[in-house]
Amino acid sequence: MPRTPQQRLGRQGEDRALAHLQAHGLTLLERNFLCKSGEIDLIMQDGPLLVFVEVRQRASSHFGGAVYSVTPAKQQRLLRAAQYYLLRHKIPPPCRFDVVAIDQEKLSWMQNALEM
């Protein structure tokens, strides 16, 4: 369980993103996948696709908003964590990287936000 207010807020954002994605037909495979390379918030199935989802939430757009917080360094950590996750598969399935950005109350779902 989240311990700090920031962790609780992050968990609420993930819950909201998960509900949104499930309402659009995606199925949750794993949540908060953690490895030495990084963390993946949500791993979902969308038909034949494996979808790695980064959830970003911001209370204010003062510093560019949630989507701008997915920095190149964060993108590299996501890619490495996804590669680590894919080691589980003999033949890796097709996959994509999505970002769910939550700015105050506005939720935006960007499919294929990153390229492997």
The CATH number assigned to the domain holding 18 equals: 3.40.1350.10
Domain containing residue 37: 5-114
Nearest partner of 100 among 29, 26, 4, judged by Cα: 26
- How far apart CA 74 and CA 47 sit, in angstroms, is 27
As a dihedral over the C-alpha atoms of residue 80, residue 83, residue 88, residue 89, rounded to 10 degrees, the angle is 170
Domain count, the chain: 1
Contact 25, 67 (CB under 8 A): no
Tens of pLDDT along the chain (116 residues) come to 567 877 777 788 899 999 999 999 999 999 999 999 889 999 999 999 999 999 987 655 555 566 656 677 777 888 899 999 999 888 989 999 998 988 878 888 989 887 66
Contact 18, 109 (CB under 8 A): no
At 73, give phi and psi (nearest 5°): -65, -40
